[in-house]
Structure 1
Amino acid sequence: MQCLGSPSRADTDIAHNQGKWLEIGTASVRNFRFVGYKRLSVWLVLLITSLPIHTIYNSVVFTSTAMHQYKVLIAPNVGDFSLASSECVRSALSLTESDFRQSMPHDSLEHLSPKECIDTFATNYLPGRGTLLLLTNELDHDNITVWDAGTGSGPRTSMKKGRKDYDWMCRGEQALDVCNGDQIDPEQWKVTASPLEDKQLNITAPSQQGTLTFNKDTFAKVSPCYDERPAVPKSLCRDMETLYRYILEHQELDNVLHFLREPENWANSSWAGAITVREVSKCAYPSENGSGKKETFKIEGCLSEKIPESCQLMFSFPIAIVVLVLNVLNIACLFITARDSRDDVLLTMGDAISSFLSRPDPNSRGRCLSSKSNVYTKAFSSSSETRYSQVNIPKRLPRLKRWFHSINSFHWYLTVVLYFASLAGSIYLHLIAFSSLKSEYEGGSLPGLSADSRKPTSVTPVSSMKSSNSKDIMSLMLLANIPQLVLSISYFLYNNLLTTMLLAAEYNSYALHRRYLRVTKPQGKQRSELYISLPHRYGLPLIALFAVLHWLTSQSLFYVQEIPFYADGRLADSFTVSALGFSSVPMIIAVTLGSIMLIAVFGLSLRRFGSRMPLAANCSAGISAACHPPENDKDAAFEPVMWGEVVINTPQELERLGGDDETRSTLSRASTATHDRGSRSTSVRVSNAMAALSLESTGVAHCSFTSHDVVKPSPRQLYS
């Protein structure tokens, strides 16, 4: 982009003739008025096609994390038992007996203490965990019974505020308003559960057709007494109804047998004596546990099934096509730029000095101490108002300046504003994240930060949606990549800051040492320019630092999909969540690194220049004014050059360079012109200059780049 905005010598001459100046050696927008609309069009296409790449490139490939629902069961705390013998356990896990034996060998379960169990499972994002067995001493080992304590993780079936994936952990006697693992005492941890096996009584009673078998749930369906025309005596129906009403309220075997043995309860006691009662187990399901029997058990430990973590690397084909097309357009723009037909392009400061030494610009004659700060619009125009302005008056050397004086104030402001905007955005994200964590861990301490940015315990969703709409997903992807765009803009700002300061420092070094000019197309003793912006010792570290910042930012704010699975392995695709994840640790590191970089640039900008040479920086007019060598120095551009006070041997040469009599004549005309216009301040400056000139025994001297010998400029000497 710097190449497209670099002017040719012809463009520079046109600008100087119109009283304008252009920027040399740095990326510039102001130059496009003179370099042509074709290059402006290519520059705009390059800009427009580059910006979207930064906002969508990271979303071409993204990850999806599988969240497996895990079943929580309460079992006896014994050293040797086989859950596979329980049909209800296998039914709850939707496994066959062979699958169950294969998936849950006892030696594959990790034993956890109550504290370890709470610390491990008290999180909303828990990959890599399967069935959890809570062990208790309050269940009978001789008659093993397994209880259902609920489920954790998996599909966001609730999606309700305050609901957590580990609410089962607090369904005991803790009476916590909000489930928080930090508030549970591991020594007194109790969990409420419902039985997986529901005990019920099967009744086999004599009937007209032989025998009739029923229980409290099936009596109404099989009883002949509910027919329109019952085929059994009314006395038998009364006895059957009496038995049914009793077993509705009493399911204890001993109580029912005792009730059958009491003759006064029956119209036909012999019928009651012939009844057989058998206790059987029936598997209960979670939907039936809502209002069923519940008990609370003290937990002595846990057995946790560890399952392989699963994730997917997703590829977005539409986004990849868009990125590919944009890159093709970028390559086309680069190809057009490389085929620039101009031979006199002033791409670097060395190119400009070489061109102006070979062919001095008459517009800047007699202004050898012009700097970027005092060259302003129309300074080179031919009107009397500007011809005799402060630029035309002989000057003394400026005071020693610092590197930051070479930078436009607006550029500094923009860089600082962008930094504080990024800092504010980071703080805002932290507030959202910690607000979410605070509500999740209300009443307890917040979890520690993890250095692993993708570790579930360190990731907080700052925005999420259940929508599968591509527009909604794209909006999250764009939002996740906005910081990447900000970083790219920051890179250009930092690059331009350093380029301008180092360009000014290199320009200033010509007043200290004689050096070869570094140009893009070397001739004579000129040297080839190895870079067009930053030297490698600055450019490579800057690229490396911003590469690290881009990576840290991608780990701080990222798009992720959560694909949930039920405990039986079924995909819960209707609960797939697209989320914008945020991780604090990489963001903190990125902000710290960005702050250090800004401080480093500020510290670098406080360095002093080595000489009092006027600060032309990237200003074409300032460079042009410093390139009026002696008449006999025709090949200065191709020899080692140095800036300083030119040794003038003849009055004619002094007159040609704009000094002595011509300067006095210029000041005289300036005094008359300013007096006629009534400009008191300018008149005073001109009068002071004439007075100073009359006191100088050596007259007005001249400074320039030259291959001849030079004298170190004197702070007391006037120069033009």
Structure 2
Amino acid sequence: MEVVISSRDDGVSEVMQEWTEDEEVTRIRRMRSGEWMGSSPRKPTHDRMRSEASSAHMRNFQSEKAKGRQTVNWPFASVTSETTTVMSNPAMPDFPLRRRRQTWQTPGIRDSDIFSVDGSIVPDYVRNYIRGETPESLAKKRKNNGRLAERDVEYNEDGMGHSRLQSRAGELGGFGADDGGHSTIGSDMSGDDRRHLMRGAGGDGRGSGGSWGSLAGGWRAGVSVNLLIAFIVFAGSLACFIVALAGSRPAKRLLTNEASIFNGSCTEASGVSYGLHALVNVLGLVGIAGANYVFQVLTSPTRAEVDAAHAKKQWLDIGIPSVRNLGRIAPMRSVLALVLVLVAVASQVIYNSLIFTSQAGVGYNLVFVTESFLTGAPFSNATSNNAGRLGRLDILSLQDQASRNQLVNMTAADCISRFSGNFDTEFSAALFVTRLDDPSNSLVQTASPASAVRFGVNPVAAKAVTADAAPINPDSVQFCLARRATTDSKTCTVVLNGSLLGLVVLLNLVTLVVTALVLFRTSRVSRPLVTLGDSLSSFLQVADETTQGSCLMSKTDVLQKRWGLREIKYWVPTAQYWFQSASLPRWVFICSIWTVMTGLTASALAMNLSRKNDSSADRPLTTLGVASATAVFPLASDVPALGACLIAALPQLLLAVLYLATNSLLTTFYLSHESALYASGTPMPLRVSYQPQGDQTTSLYLTLPRPLSWGLCAGFGGMGFLLSQSVFVVGAKLNGMTGGDSMEASSEMVGLGFSDTGLLVLLAVVAVLGAGVVGMSLRRAPRATTAEGQAPGNPLVLEAGSCSAVISARCHNTEPDEPSDMAARKLMWGVVSPMFRNDMEVAHCAYSSRGVERLGMTTGYS
């Protein structure tokens, strides 16, 4: 048997010892670097010193493993036919093994405290044989930068030397295991490089094995959290729906009618309504935020998709939620991403349509009379002067109460303001005393809620009596007398739309299923380029040939198809601000949404305030969720309460789109900021979204930091609540007067109400949001370190937004002394290779783990 160990004298070369089964060394010879099994040359390591005790322990352990083992002649071997075991540095710690179900693991040393296996004991030609590859396919694979994505079965290493078969039959479209070299760290490393890499694969606990280990960080952990939230929301909504069904008799009535949640005083009903609206807005915004998170994961391209786009001189977005990528990624992922976002936005509208408050009251009737009516003058209630079809007993009752001073006296202005088509349950009837004089008939005209819109409110009184050439105009009204409602107008009911609750349960189920598909139907070794660190790691491991020699390529060059020209460019530092990180179309879109939102809110507030006047009985500003008598607009009689609720909740669509646009804009800011930090003079690790290696880090958030993301979600949740209390449904159960032919004994009406206070606060919050985004956009990019000192600009700022080609062009480091696990180390960006072209100094910039030179303003770069 042959064993390769490191020499103790020079720490550079390795020694091969041939052993017999009796543990006798028959031959010792020194090996040159790279001689063993045709592997690539190893770089010198720096910790080859070993103690005698460690060497003896290793020899004893190896002899025990070798006893009784038959010699195996490996097929196609080119250097030896005996059983081989390659030993790595024994100072390297042992790592926990991954526990996997129904997977094949190669036998190896598992319980050593002194050393561990340097890679798999399975030779490369056996792996290739298992993969079904031939020498021709391997040559083609090397020619294509290691990409052969057509295979259905991959033989992968899990990052700790343990090999396994990986089936791709059940993967979600586009998230395959072979991402074009994105997971090749550690394939050809020295002992030191492998130990540095393995710190992130298990030595520090970040890459613990099993299914739970894959969910411990990165995008899978984030999707897992969203899946848990989606399950809780679905279970809660389903439980509420079941309880509502159980409380309805019969149960199917809930799907066609409203259900009462609370019935009592209006003060308590307002409290219940506030709490429920706050809850549903929190759930709605959490759903939208979660959908946006999963949307970014789904629309993140794989390396294969990026390579396919670059081959066509096209580019993709990386690190941000991208609508642009939908047409360039796997169709299944595009469909799931769209479904998830649309369902979340629709849920926000339906959540705010679930409940409304209805107030018990009476329908007021209007009667226009002469002054003699108050003293008992005769009248006629013929059809010609009785548009409201009031019964004679109703009119006589009013005449009797007026003669005994039992009615409330109001000015003409107050009466017209209060009863001009407004929602008011405080009064049941009003007498408009005119300046007209008709001795034969003291009744001029009548009007009632049923005369114009059955379930609406009264038309403008003056217009009602001036219609059809009636001899009345507003100036002819002297004063008015109003009769207070005798029923309890302060009794309110919180009403639930049962059919919409059932729809909410269905939408929550869709969200749950789609999120589960994203998490469980993607390959465990899939590597979508979700974060900036993912893309940098991929491009540093396998360079993108389409962007070579263009380290200062800008997005303008990409849009002009100036790829592969290898032009010499000079970097001129100028002050750069965050607003330059977003493209012009993105700015136009978010400014348009913000302007529409602000304009509609301001217009509604101005309209409400303009309907008030000095003589109005309404308060200057109403409280949240309460509309003044002049701020309620009736809907048509054929509009049910469910339809009215949906109409009132439609502005939530605009708010949801504004949230998505704002989140995307801030994500673009922070993507460019994260990129610029690598040119600030301080080495930084890559922040990846899945299984960090070496110095790499991971996080639950993708690009936008958690505090800002949570603050944005909380802010928009509050805005959603304010909007629900600013524009809402006003419902009333109206009881008619006791006349025989007057309006129906009981009816309902709905309208849209506007709260002055709610609109004013909402307008202020939207303005603060706009000011905050503008203020953040004026923040300066981190200064780059140059040969002349701190420059005002930064060459790594992603101007005009994310661009995969620009990111790729910055990752071409071909220096021979760069470690093969460079992507797993802390990196800087700067000059890595000065050169001369046509007697002119030309340098190249890239990421490096070994230090870089500073950029100069007089040097050309290519």
Which TM-score band (shorter chain)? Answer: 0.5 to 0.7
Q: Residue 446 and residue 114 in structure 1: after superposition, are their counterparts in 2 closer, same or farther (change >3 A)? A: closer
CA displacement at 1:481 relative to structure 2:
1.8
Please say if residues 155 and 564 of structure 1, whose CA atoms lie closer than 8 Å, have aligned partners that are also in contact: no
CA displacement at 1:367 relative to structure 2:
1.1
Cα distance in 2 between the residues matched to 1:623 and 1:458 = 60
- 1:324 aligns with 505
SS at match of 2:650: helix
Cα distance in 1 between the residues matched to 2:460 and 2:429 = 24
Please say if residues 540 and 811 of structure 2, whose CA atoms lie closer than 8 Å, have aligned partners that are also in contact: yes
Amino acid at match of 1:12: V
- 2:328 aligns with 34
SS at match of 1:711: coil
- 1:582 aligns with 754
Cα distance in 2 between the residues matched to 1:13 and 1:573 = 74
Amino acid at match of 1:520: S
Deviations 1:484-509 (A, max 9, x none): 00010011110011000111011111
- 2:707 aligns with 537
Q: Please state if 1:631 is matched with 2:819.
A: no
2:826 aligned to 629, 636, 640, which one? 640
- 1:497 aligns with 665
- 1:163 aligns with 461
- 2:844 aligns with 702
Q: Please state if 1:374 is matched with 2:549.
A: no
Cα distance in 2 between the residues matched to 1:573 and 1:306 = 13
Deviations 1:436-457 (A, max 9, x none): x36xx6x946844324133342
Q: Residue 451 and residue 714 in structure 1: after superposition, are their counterparts in 2 closer, same or farther (change >3 A)? A: farther
Listed as ranges, the matches of 1:677-716 within 5 Å are 699-716=841-858
Q: Residue 346 and residue 459 in structure 1: after superposition, are their counterparts in 2 closer, same or farther (change >3 A)? A: farther
- Bigger share in helix: 1
Cα distance in 2 between the residues matched to 1:112 and 1:154 = 19
Q: Residue 131 and residue 466 in structure 1: after superposition, are their counterparts in 2 closer, same or farther (change >3 A)? A: closer
Amino acid at match of 1:347: V
2:493 aligned to 283, 302, 312, which one? 312
Please say if residues 459 and 581 of structure 1, whose CA atoms lie closer than 8 Å, have aligned partners that are also in contact: no
2:517 aligned to 313, 325, 336, which one? 336
Q: Residue 34 and residue 113 in structure 1: after superposition, are their counterparts in 2 closer, same or farther (change >3 A)? A: closer
Q: Residue 394 and residue 176 in structure 1: after superposition, are their counterparts in 2 closer, same or farther (change >3 A)? A: closer
SS at match of 1:580: strand
SS at match of 1:576: strand
CA displacement at 1:713 relative to structure 2:
1.3
Please say if residues 424 and 629 of structure 2, whose CA atoms lie closer than 8 Å, have aligned partners that are also in contact: no
Q: Which runs of 5+ in 1 are unaligned?
A: 76-87, 94-109, 133-148, 168-174, 185-189, 193-301, 381-386, 649-653, 665-693
Cα distance in 2 between the residues matched to 1:591 and 1:2 = 30
Query: Higher relative contact order by CA 8 Å / sep ≥ 6: 1 or 2?
Result: 1
Please say if residues 63 and 312 of structure 1, whose CA atoms lie closer than 8 Å, have aligned partners that are also in contact: yes
Deviations 1:413-446 (A, max 9, x none): 11111222223333443465456x36xx6x9468
Amino acid at match of 2:500: I
Q: Please state if 1:479 is matched with 2:641.
A: no
Please say if residues 130 and 307 of structure 1, whose CA atoms lie closer than 8 Å, have aligned partners that are also in contact: no
Deviations 1:293-325 (A, max 9, x none): xxxxxxxxx999894611222222222222222
Q: Residue 462 and residue 365 in structure 1: after superposition, are their counterparts in 2 closer, same or farther (change >3 A)? A: same
Deviations 1:138-196 (A, max 9, x none): xxxxxxxxxxx9xx9996667653229xx9xxxxxxx97487xxx97xxxxx959xxxx
- 1:605 aligns with 777
Cα distance in 2 between the residues matched to 1:191 and 1:129 = 10
Amino acid at match of 2:836: D
Q: Please state if 1:399 is matched with 2:574.
A: yes
- 1:56 aligns with 350
CA displacement at 1:365 relative to structure 2:
1.6
Please say if residues 360 and 628 of structure 1, whose CA atoms lie closer than 8 Å, have aligned partners that are also in contact: yes
Q: Which runs of 5+ in 2 are unaligned?
A: 1-294, 367-373, 375-392, 399-405, 431-442, 466-472, 784-793
CA displacement at 1:335 relative to structure 2:
1.5
CA displacement at 1:131 relative to structure 2:
11
Please say if residues 628 and 755 of structure 2, whose CA atoms lie closer than 8 Å, have aligned partners that are also in contact: no
Please say if residues 552 and 590 of structure 1, whose CA atoms lie closer than 8 Å, have aligned partners that are also in contact: yes
Please say if residues 515 and 640 of structure 1, whose CA atoms lie closer than 8 Å, have aligned partners that are also in contact: yes
CA displacement at 1:460 relative to structure 2:
1.2
Please say if residues 23 and 31 of structure 1, whose CA atoms lie closer than 8 Å, have aligned partners that are also in contact: yes
Please say if residues 627 and 753 of structure 2, whose CA atoms lie closer than 8 Å, have aligned partners that are also in contact: no
CA displacement at 1:59 relative to structure 2:
1.3
CA displacement at 1:111 relative to structure 2:
14
Q: Residue 573 and residue 28 in structure 1: after superposition, are their counterparts in 2 closer, same or farther (change >3 A)? A: farther
SS at match of 1:600: helix
Q: Residue 567 and residue 326 in structure 1: after superposition, are their counterparts in 2 closer, same or farther (change >3 A)? A: same
- 2:806 aligns with 622
Amino acid at match of 2:701: Y
2:693 aligned to 512, 518, 523, which one? 523
Cα distance in 2 between the residues matched to 1:130 and 1:475 = 27
Q: Residue 593 and residue 632 in structure 1: after superposition, are their counterparts in 2 closer, same or farther (change >3 A)? A: same
SS at match of 1:700: strand
Please say if residues 350 and 517 of structure 1, whose CA atoms lie closer than 8 Å, have aligned partners that are also in contact: yes
Deviations 1:502-541 (A, max 9, x none): 1101111111122121111211111112301311221122
CA displacement at 1:348 relative to structure 2:
0.6
Select between 602-611 and 395-404 the one with higher mean Cα deviation: 395-404
1:551 aligned to 721, 724, 729, which one? 721
Please say if residues 371 and 614 of structure 1, whose CA atoms lie closer than 8 Å, have aligned partners that are also in contact: no
Q: Residue 331 and residue 554 in structure 1: after superposition, are their counterparts in 2 closer, same or farther (change >3 A)? A: same
Please say if residues 432 and 462 of structure 1, whose CA atoms lie closer than 8 Å, have aligned partners that are also in contact: no
Cα distance in 2 between the residues matched to 1:360 and 1:614 = 18
Listed as ranges, the matches of 1:412-491 within 5 Å are 412-430=587-605, 432-433=607-608, 437=611, 444=615, 447-457=618-628, 460-467=631-638, 470=640, 473-491=641-659
Q: Residue 50 and residue 122 in structure 1: after superposition, are their counterparts in 2 closer, same or farther (change >3 A)? A: closer
Please say if residues 459 and 583 of structure 1, whose CA atoms lie closer than 8 Å, have aligned partners that are also in contact: no
Cα distance in 2 between the residues matched to 1:331 and 1:589 = 35
Cα distance in 1 between the residues matched to 2:425 and 2:474 = 26
Cα distance in 1 between the residues matched to 2:607 and 2:753 = 11
- Structure 1 length-normalised TM: 0.60
Please say if residues 827 and 849 of structure 2, whose CA atoms lie closer than 8 Å, have aligned partners that are also in contact: yes
CA displacement at 1:127 relative to structure 2:
4.9
SS at match of 1:710: coil
SS at match of 2:518: helix
Select between 363-372 and 504-513 the one with higher mean Cα deviation: 363-372
Select between 542-551 and 50-59 the one with higher mean Cα deviation: 50-59
Cα distance in 1 between the residues matched to 2:702 and 2:770 = 23
Q: Residue 176 and residue 363 in structure 1: after superposition, are their counterparts in 2 closer, same or farther (change >3 A)? A: closer
Please say if residues 694 and 824 of structure 2, whose CA atoms lie closer than 8 Å, have aligned partners that are also in contact: yes
Please say if residues 67 and 153 of structure 1, whose CA atoms lie closer than 8 Å, have aligned partners that are also in contact: no
Q: Residue 20 and residue 45 in structure 1: after superposition, are their counterparts in 2 closer, same or farther (change >3 A)? A: same
Q: Residue 331 and residue 364 in structure 1: after superposition, are their counterparts in 2 closer, same or farther (change >3 A)? A: same
Identity across matched positions, percent: 28
